[in-house]
A and B are shown apart, each in its own frame.
Chain A
Amino acid sequence: MSPLQRASGWIFAGPALVVLSVFFFLPVLAAFALSLTDFDIYALADISNLRFVGLDNYAELIGRPIFWKALGNTVYFVGAGVPLSIAVSLFAALLLHSRASFLKPLFRTALFAPVVTTVVAVAVIWRYLLHTRYGILNAALESVGLPAVDWLGDPNVSMPAIILFAVWKNFGYNMIIILAGLQAIPDDLYEAARIDGANRVQQFIHVTLPSLAPILFLVGVITTAGYFQLFAEPYVMTEGGPVQSTLSILYFMYEEGFKWWSLGSASAVAFLLFVIMLGVTAVQYAVMRRRGGLA
């Protein structure tokens, strides 16, 4: 081996590792350090105004109702949005996988299309579709005799409206992954179940679901992580309102950091989000392992 050959691994991997270290790993560590300071607009102007405050930012956040409101809203969005999204993805994947379906590639493309669209742009579309007076959705409700809903103006339905939008936008992604999982289930399993006299619902419960379990778990973990990062949807559709009913953790971090320039406190928010996500992922893995579905 020539010296160049021995060094080639580092030469090829080096640029990416340097970039990741400088622009990702270093900032992540710095975020924790920053969260222990009172970095604010005065420190932004003159760094000598910066003071180390220990865990004060965290203590202060825990004492602020708006932090709990943002956390609660985010947990609501994740808790209702993730199962609903995956249920719709599973339903769509089962339809596409069915022998009875025609034009599969066409339907697959149509159902996937919302995934590649720009979230800000389609959120603007939905804001009009959900409009109380001029929106198509209320026109449809009223045409069948149902009352109009103030989708984005009523704090009780604003989050469900955003969940509805998120499901529409995202279900195609997991649909593709679940569809691949369905295609990988061997026919013999269904054959054996049929011979045992299982009807279609029983086949679904005893063959399809257990075979899909690892994949459903995987898309669950990925979708949960993604949904915790809710930001653009409320920013565009509701500006976090009404009465902070759609203020998410990231939205709170954004306002704390880039509206009020409390960068120390905002870093603490970011770190708490990270810790919460880590905890939720750990619980998901533990539950899955206990059920024995994970090799």
Chain B
Amino acid sequence: MKGRASNPLVVNGALIGLALVALFPLFWMISVSLMQPGEAADVPPPLLPSDPTFENYLRLFGQTGMGRYFLNSLVLAVSATALSLFFNVTAGYAFAKLRFKGRDTIFRLLLAALVIPAQVAMIPLFLMLKEMGLINTYLGVLVPTMANVFGIFLVRQYALSVPTEMLEAARLDGAGEIRIFASIVLPALRPIIVTLGIFAFLASWNDFLWPLIVLIDDDMYTLPVAIAALSREHVQDAELMMAGAVVTVLPVLFLFLGLQRFYLRGLLLGSVKG
């Protein structure tokens, strides 16, 4: 609160306490992933590995096909990001800056559709993809990530600030619509493109229910699906499971740390009512 400053000792003490709670499970994950097999089950539970080892990572990649899961997740997240950018940036721009019949009505309908939970569509979508032979394929996982209302909304909010005069001037100079989009709109939208890209990547990387439904064979599993299956199989092997968690969590954590500014801006822009 503004005004007379609160006691710095209390405020910072509470912040340190909260930060410890937020980070402790992640710290513990890394620590246990470096322990000797079985060490985490000692009583009392150790906080640091007595004799750090990479053996769990070797076992993970050697015995469980983790390399394959990682590759699946990476290919899917990169593809989902590219698809999401293509569909949502073009549509977001159209809803912000191009005039076409029914535009505002359609946009209102899209916003209203935000109240429909995605899971409602999942069962028919599963049957549809089954007919198309897309069950247990990358494409089947990607289908629902292509276009989404939130992404269109995010881009539209940002694109509203692109000056219309700039677009009109280019049109008077005889530039075509595709050219205007590529040379004026895309550069102006670069920050929100980065934001949407991070959102799409994280959403794909962390997604669970849909890949769990669509992916049947073990060698198609993404990291979350594989981790969930492994954790049922290797319940006693805390060290192995924590190595798996590290491989799953650290990439997105680093991505966030590197692009935090863009991520948080998108979060705030997305929470503004349309």
Interface residues of A (CB under 8 A from B): 4-13, 15-17, 19-20, 23-28, 30-31, 34, 92, 94-102, 107, 109-114, 116-122, 124-129, 133-136, 139, 143, 168, 172-173, 176-177, 180, 187, 190-191, 194, 200, 203-204, 208, 218-219, 222, 225, 228-229, 231-232, 235-236, 239, 250, 253-254, 257-258, 263, 266-267, 270-271, 273-274, 277-278, 281
Contacts and interface: CB of A to CB of B under 8 A. Distances in A.
14 contacts: A6-B100, A9-B103, A19-B147, A27-B121, A30-B128, A102-B12, A110-B19, A128-B238, A129-B28, A134-B40, A168-B22, A177-B268, A225-B115, A266-B123
Interface in B241-274: 241-242, 244-245, 248-249, 252-253, 255-257, 260, 263-264, 267-268, 271, 273
B119 interface: yes
A15 B127 contact: no
Report, nearest first, the 8 A-B pairs whose CB atoms are least far apart: A9-B100, A16-B91, A30-B124, A12-B94, A27-B121, A13-B94, A9-B98, A120-B224
Contacts, number: 291
A13 B205 CA distance: 26
B166 interface: no
Contacts of B263: 116
B62 interface: no
Contacts of A11: 177
Most buried by A among B1, B118, B245: B1
B133 interface: no
B117 A225 contact: yes
Interface string B131-150: 00000000000011011110
B88 interface: yes
B274 to A, nearest CB: 12
Interface stretch (B41-49, B53-61, B186-194): B41-49
A31 B224 contact: no
A219 B6 CA distance: 26
Contact of B205 (A5, A118, A134): A118
B228 interface: yes
Given A218-B273, A254-B209, A20 B98 contact: no
B150 to A, nearest CB: 11
Given A16-B90, A218-B271, 4 more contacts: A20-B149, A116-B252, A121-B223, A121-B249
Interface residues of B, number: 102
Given A13-B91, A121-B245, A208-B1, A139 B26 contact: no
Contact of A139 (B23, B45, B119, B267): B45
A157 B21 CA distance: 20
A34 B121 CA distance: 11
A273 B253 CA distance: 32
A96 B94 CA distance: 38
Contacts of B268: 176-177, 180
A268 to B, nearest CB: 10
B221 to A, nearest CB: 11
Contact of A117 (B5, B7, B244, B249): B249
A271 B267 CA distance: 29
Given A13-B98, A100-B12, A120-B228, A267 B3 contact: no
Contacts of A124: 227-228, 231, 241, 244-245
Contacts of A228: 117
Contact of B21 (A121, A168, A194): A168
A282 to B, nearest CB: 10
A196 B199 CA distance: 46
Contacts of B100: 6-10, 13
A137 to B, nearest CB: 10
B18 interface: yes
